[in-house]
Amino acid sequence: NSFIIYRCRNCQAQWRTFAIGIHHEGEADSCVARKYGEWPAFGPPVPARVISMIGPDRDLFLKGRRAELRGLGIGATAYYRRVVESQTQRVFRELQRAARHLHDDAAVALLERAANETQFSRAVDLVRDALPQRLWIHNQNPLTLLHNALSNDLHAATDEECLEVATSIRVLLTELAARVEEVTKADEGLLRAVAALSNRPKK
């Protein structure tokens, strides 16, 4: 059993540590190697905007991500479901913030009511037809898609099916967080531009 440490030959800055076990089989120059794990964990980093959206359940989300990367579908789905259900209010507050930037007063009011719901399914029902189109993903309401994914019965699905559901939940959350960030940043940039031009002295 040993650790092997590598430095990226492209950037010459990032390091990765592998825990491995090696044992000989038969001839002295023949062996079998098994990787126990690696650090940092395999896979692309979770975007900061997703971490911001889920807030206090960051560690649970990352556990779900690790389970997903290891092909543990049931475990990954259970973690992601727990994150979404426990952070319902936070998710809807973020959507409300985006709707406010879009000046959609009707959506802001409904998202305010949804944010006060503790159950994700009831919150989704409130805004099923009111979420601003700028936040939709490929002409689909992401909240409805999330609700459908979370409604899957873990006990009736195979691990492979759960893995597909888990990946869908993560991708939807990531894209939804990206849409919120895009809307709010675009609006803030526009406000700064308007302010700069309106305050510019006339010559």
Which pLDDT does position 194 carry in this prediction? 57
Which pLDDT does position 19 carry in this prediction? 93
pTM above 0.85, yes or no: no
CA gap 144, 123 in Å, rounded: 10
Which pLDDT does position 201 carry in this prediction? 64
Structure tokens at 51: 């971490």
CB 161 within 8 A of CB 141: no
Which pLDDT does position 161 carry in this prediction? 92
CB 7 within 8 A of CB 15: yes
CB atoms within 10 A of CB 202: 3
Residue among 183, 114, 112, 118 nearest 143 (CA)? 114
Using DSSP's 3-state secondary structure scheme, residue 192 falls into helix
CA gap 54, 61 in Å, rounded: 8
DSSP 67-88: HHHTT-HHHHHHHHHHHHHHTH
Which pLDDT does position 67 carry in this prediction? 92
Residue-wise pLDDT tens for the chain (203 aa)?
Answer: 989 999 888 888 888 899 999 888 776 678 888 888 888 777 777 888 888 888 889 999 999 998 998 899 999 999 999 998 888 888 889 899 899 988 899 999 999 998 888 888 888 888 888 888 888 988 999 888 988 888 877 778 899 999 999 999 999 999 999 888 888 886 666 556 656 656 666 66
Which pLDDT does position 197 carry in this prediction? 59
Which pLDDT does position 190 carry in this prediction? 56
